[in-house]
Amino acid sequence: MHAIKNNWWKIAGIALVVYVIAGGLLFEVPDLPVLRESIRNIYFHVGMWFGMIFILFMSVVFSLRYLARSRPEDDLRALAAVKVGLLFGLLGLLTGMLWARFTWGDYWVNDPKLNGAAVGMLIYLAYIVLRSSLEDPEKRARLAAVYSVFAFVLFFVFIMILPRTASVSIHPGVDGNPALATGDLAPEMRWVFYPAMLGWFIMSWWLYRLFYRMSRIEIKIREIRENQNNQI
């Protein structure tokens, strides 16, 4: 009983994602020109980006908390969240590229939104590089947190403002958040779309917790080894 009580949200997440995969692939979708059946990708592609933004936002929250309280756990949490964010971002890029191939005819087009996505990936890869080039854990945590906050705010401004002012963008969602505006999505698709978003949020949170606990266990193991070496 205890396990179910604590882990109900994971079960809910699995159920939602299974439902989304089944429903997303099987349910009726409107037959639109050009898009055709590829519209089903919306449940996965958009879900990946929402999940990424959500988990990166959490990462910045942890970074800020680290700067405020200087507790090493917060740094580990921020790092774990960035890793999940990168994974989701990569999947978002892949699903997006596949979609672009079938609707726009090419894997990559020069478009403000796509460039924004690429910049985001570069920023967080740079974050990983920054971490690996610093050895002192306390210093590493502090500098990484500063960079993460600085970069995230600029990145956010970039993806929120720039695509809206650009004169041409073939990526949908120029005036608002794609697929959230009520007129955008066919009613039968909402039955899958909203659960999909929730499901991917839960998945990203769960993955983040796994990464975080893995890194804590690694640190524990290292400490134990060092203690053993000292005793010998």
Partner 1 sequence: MEWRSKFAIGGVVLYLVSTVFITYLAFDGRIALQTWNALFWLIILFASMHAIMKSFIQESENRQLYYYMLASGKEVIVSKILYNSLLMVVLSLTGLLLFIAFMGNPLQTLTVFLINMLLGVVGFAVVLTLISAIASKAKNNFTLMAVLGFPLVLPLLLLLIRVSNAGLAGAPLAEAATDMLIILLLIFIAFTLSMVLFPYIWRE
Q: Which residues bind partner 1 (CB under 8 A)?
A: 67, 112, 115-116, 119, 122-123, 126, 129-130, 133-135, 139, 142-143, 145-147, 149-151, 153-155, 157-158, 161-162, 165
| Beta carbon of residue 79, minimum distance to partner 1 (angstroms, whole number) | 16
Which of residues 6 and 133 has its CB atom nearest to partner 1 in the complex?
Answer: 133
| Beta carbon of residue 80, minimum distance to partner 1 (angstroms, whole number) | 21
| Beta carbon of residue 23, minimum distance to partner 1 (angstroms, whole number) | 37
Which of residues 143 and 180 has its CB atom nearest to partner 1 in the complex?
Answer: 143
For residue 24 the two structure tokens come to: 């997303």
Which of residues 109 and 162 has its CB atom nearest to partner 1 in the complex?
Answer: 162
Which of residues 98 and 119 has its CB atom nearest to partner 1 in the complex?
Answer: 119
| Beta carbon of residue 36, minimum distance to partner 1 (angstroms, whole number) | 32
| Beta carbon of residue 133, minimum distance to partner 1 (angstroms, whole number) | 5
Which of residues 19 and 108 has its CB atom nearest to partner 1 in the complex?
Answer: 108
